[in-house]
Structure 1
Amino acid sequence: MEWITAINPATEEVIKKYRPDSATTVQKKLKAGLQAFASWKQIAFEERARILRNAATILRNRKQEWAELMAKEMGKPIAQGRSEAEKCAWACEYYAQEAAQMLKPIEVPTDATRSFVTFEPLGLILAIMPWNFPFWQVFRFLAPHLMAGNTAVLKHASNVPGCALAIQEIMLEAGLPEGVFQTLMVPSAEVKNLIAHPAIAAVTLTGSTDAGRAVARQAGAYLKKTVLELGGSDAYVILPDADLEQAVETCVNSRLINSGQSCIAAKRFIVVHDVLRAFTERFVARMQEKKWGDPMDESVDIGPLARADLRNQLHRQVMRSVQAGAQCLVGGKIPKQKGAFYPPTVLTRVKKGMPAFDEELFGPVAAIIAARDEAEAIRLANDSSFGLGAAVFTRDRQKGEQITAHQLEAGNCFVNALVKSDPRLPFGGIKNSGYGRELGLFGIHEFVNIKTVYIA
């Protein structure tokens, strides 16, 4: 039996080992989730909302505890962990307030005496979630779909088992009935069997593109709906009329959020030639000012990467890019100390064909790409297999709106701001960044039966 082990990426120390669920335990949990669905879907919106509001209170009241847990298990800087807990609370409160209206039947005039569309829950949903936002990724799925009347089982990333169990604890303490939400302590190899299980009605995954393809194949074989939020290589376009101070500050913050381990972190900075030198100088200086180290230190901006193998993979991508002609202006060296640390790194002269252009760099590495003019900058931004997020920086807001709304190819496009998720807005990607949406009105409709009712 292979234990599920939590390792502190900053110290390399084993935090705790967890016994995986046996096959019998998994079967019992799936049966319990299916049985709980029969009663949970009948619960009034008001009662579901009360439980979510309770969860929001627990998240806020114990946010320091949750932040410390995230810091220990995956290296998130402590202040960012508190913010993550707050954002989870916001999502709970938002859907507690809005879900009933979002799921209200829609009357449609036809030849019938009455015809309308209603939104009915699907059943037990399997959520396969990543380690990088170990609370937020779960709650942004859980809040809307519990309000919709579904039940859920969570297969969390194996390096954050404590976070997975903590979320289950929060929901039970909030008053959620037994079986409505459960954590499965199983390795990734068991996902295929979970998807195949007749108790599972649908699957949501946040993870890598390769993981998304595997889940889509497996779920497709059983005609089970999936929502996939996958990788990204977000392009931020810097136009000549941009406010460079504001653009640099926003770009650096976006690249380094969660120590650079975010699917919607800015990764490629496409700068029109007129401001390339000025932007690069300011960007490098700001990156060098950022402090990396112990994630429990309140003054630290960048913690370790979540695992040593991920840090080593990132370094190989940097080295391959340099060998292909990129120039490393700062960083790019593995520190000689314990922990999966990687320093803020800036690559220039990045071109298509290099890992820094073509692949997702999941860590504090920025790729600066030169463009002759606005048209080439937009072309380079779209010249990617990914399509999760993008941004443009310009003082001309009308131009910025036109570019983001109609020219940039991504699911989330921002003007003069870093790309981020918001419970009020749909979130998701296109191309190799996945399909389907989380959050907002569109997110809550992903795992419901959009049912036509026709009364002659």
Structure 2
Amino acid sequence: MNTTVSINPTTEKEIASYERISQKEAFKKIDKANKTYHSWKKTSLEERSKFMYNLADILDKNKEKYAILATEEMGKILKQSEAEIEKCAMICRYYAKNIETLIADKHIETEAHKSYVTFQPLGVTLAVMPWNFPFYQVIRFASPAVMTGNVGVLKHASNVQGCAFALEDAFKKAGFPDGVFTNLNVSSSEIKNIIAHKSIVAVTLTGSEPAGRSVAEIAGKNLKKSVLELGGSDAYIILEDVDLEKVTDLALYGRLQNNGQTCIAAKRFIVLEKIYDDFLTLFTKKMKNAKMGNPTEKDSYYGPLARVDLRDELHQQVQKTIEEGGKLILGGQIPKQKGAYYPATILTDLKPGMTAFDEELFGPVASVIKAKDEDEAIKLANNSAFGLGSGVFTSDVKRGEKIALQLEAGNSFVNKLVASDPRLPFGGIKNSGYGRELSGYGIKEFVNTKTIWVD
């Protein structure tokens, strides 16, 4: 039987297996979703909001159960899994409350008796989602898509199918009609044919750069709209006037949150020469003292990576960087224990062209880079194929804002770690993808922005 298997990355033991469906079965589900769409798009915003509020309540009531499932399937610290579920419920309530304002008609003065822009749903949207935030990534796409009158089908990562089916069940329990949200447990090899299916109108993907290129190519050939969020190598500029104690606390959390597996994690710390040594000393101490352990234990600061193969790939990137001339300050060795663990690691003496400078390191590995002055720091930050998140730490907020405006990224934060917020657009530039999610900007990615002229 063709199945996907969930492996606990902490114990390396099988949690559960899920039967994969065939392409024929997937197409039947897509056809059903399309049929549901034609009735769902006619429902009132009030009715959609009622179901979305119900979904938020279900997420809250089952927070502990869902959090345990996420931690078991991908290794996230349990309290961070709980926070993920809480954020999902918050997003559901945000769109349930604000949908009328977000997609309100926009009246425009012309020679017409009446002219305006209206925002109408398109149909069945495919989401190809990653494992690192197995609930949030899905809700981030599904909540706004469903509230606009679209329906969604999900191709989730194979190692978090338990979370995928839990979400499908939650939508049903919330009262959404069958077909509004559907999980497709299919092989990645089926994505090409699914995108090409006549009822799929658009695709959104969060994942790796190669996966994004592949999906964009298929979507382009089939003239389907796509939105891509492909991760990054986020740079944080540390100016000489910071509170080092506070900044190193943020740097620690920014690099080890979600076990280092976050697209918008702080990955490259570009520190001005004047405070470089002091920053590195204090940051190294805190990274060394952060406890790596079982993600269900309260005193664990970070847990294992999601899979052993991902851990091994990360280690290869670290080793390659050292061979290229990078200096290993901390960590860098695979521990002799069960689980996909990798220790908090710091690399320095990095230059453009080195693996840790150029590539995304998806795990608890920090790149610390020295800059002689502010101008060089900005150049180093922008010397990247990626452009998702970026940040500046300084006691002078006007200076920080000025620098943030010069950083080439979809998100630039001053004195705060980059985070997504449903009130603000989220997405990247360069190889970090295109399009936006969340807010009034993201909700309009998958609608027909339609002109109405009445003479």
- Give the TM-score normalised by structure 2: 0.99
CA deviation profile, 1:71-99 (whole Å, cap 9, x unmatched): 11111110000000000000000011111
Name the structure 2 match of 1:221. 221
Q: 2:291 corresponds to which letter in structure 1?
A: K
Of stretches 43-52 and 17-26 in structure 1, the one that deviates more from structure 2 is 17-26
| Offset of residue 301 of structure 1 | 1.5
Alignment of 1:282-301 (within 5 A): 282-301=282-301
CA deviation profile, 1:381-412 (whole Å, cap 9, x unmatched): 0000000000001111011111112x000000
| d(CA) in 1 for partners of 2:301, 2:29 | 40
CA deviation profile, 1:214-254 (whole Å, cap 9, x unmatched): 00000000110000000200000001112212211111111
| Offset of residue 2 of structure 1 | 3.0
Q: Note the residue ranges of structure 1 that are not aligned, 5 or more in a row.
A: none
| d(CA) in 2 for partners of 1:320, 1:28 | 46
| d(CA) in 2 for partners of 1:247, 1:440 | 29
- Contact between 2:23 and 2:186, CA under 8 Å: does it hold in 1? no
Name the structure 1 match of 2:139. 139
Name the structure 1 match of 2:115. 115
- Contact between 2:311 and 2:342, CA under 8 Å: does it hold in 1? yes
| d(CA) in 1 for partners of 2:222, 2:319 | 42
Name the structure 2 match of 1:327. 327
CA deviation profile, 1:135-160 (whole Å, cap 9, x unmatched): 00000111111110000100000010
- Contact between 2:145 and 2:443, CA under 8 Å: does it hold in 1? yes
Of stretches 46-55 and 80-89 in structure 1, the one that deviates more from structure 2 is 46-55
| d(CA) in 2 for partners of 1:326, 1:27 | 49
Name the structure 1 match of 2:450. 451
Counterpart secondary structure, 1:159: helix
Alignment of 1:45-444 (within 5 A): 45-405=45-405, 407-444=406-443
Q: 1:376 corresponds to which letter in structure 2?
A: E
State percent identity of aligned pairs.
54
Counterpart secondary structure, 1:71: helix
- Contact between 1:243 and 1:393, CA under 8 Å: does it hold in 2? no
| Offset of residue 289 of structure 1 | 1.7
Q: 1:335 corresponds to which letter in structure 2?
A: P
- Contact between 1:10 and 1:304, CA under 8 Å: does it hold in 2? yes
Q: Note the residue ranges of structure 2 that are not aligned, 5 or more in a row.
A: none
| Offset of residue 350 of structure 1 | 1.4
Instruction: Give the count of matched residue pairs.
Output: 455
| d(CA) in 2 for partners of 1:278, 1:99 | 48
- Contact between 2:276 and 2:370, CA under 8 Å: does it hold in 1? yes
| Offset of residue 278 of structure 1 | 0.6
Of stretches 415-424 and 294-303 in structure 1, the one that deviates more from structure 2 is 294-303
| d(CA) in 2 for partners of 1:2, 1:276 | 53
Name the structure 2 match of 1:31. 31
Q: 2:202 corresponds to which letter in structure 1?
A: A
CA deviation profile, 1:83-122 (whole Å, cap 9, x unmatched): 0000000000001111111111011110111000000001
| d(CA) in 2 for partners of 1:343, 1:147 | 42
Q: 1:236 corresponds to which letter in structure 2?
A: Y
| d(CA) in 1 for partners of 2:39, 2:305 | 42
- Contact between 1:126 and 1:195, CA under 8 Å: does it hold in 2? yes
| Offset of residue 351 of structure 1 | 1.4
CA deviation profile, 1:334-388 (whole Å, cap 9, x unmatched): 0001110001011111111111100000000000001110000000000000000
| Offset of residue 298 of structure 1 | 2.0
| d(CA) in 2 for partners of 1:276, 1:40 | 57
Q: 1:47 corresponds to which letter in structure 2?
A: E
| d(CA) in 2 for partners of 1:243, 1:374 | 17
- Give the TM-score normalised by structure 1: 0.99
| Offset of residue 420 of structure 1 | 0.8
Counterpart secondary structure, 1:228: strand
| Offset of residue 24 of structure 1 | 2.8
Counterpart secondary structure, 1:6: strand
| d(CA) in 2 for partners of 1:2, 1:273 | 56
CA deviation profile, 1:400-451 (whole Å, cap 9, x unmatched): 111112x000000000110111111100000000000000110100000000
Query: What RMSD in Å do the two structures reach over aligned CA positions?
Result: 0.8
Q: 2:397 corresponds to which letter in structure 1?
A: R
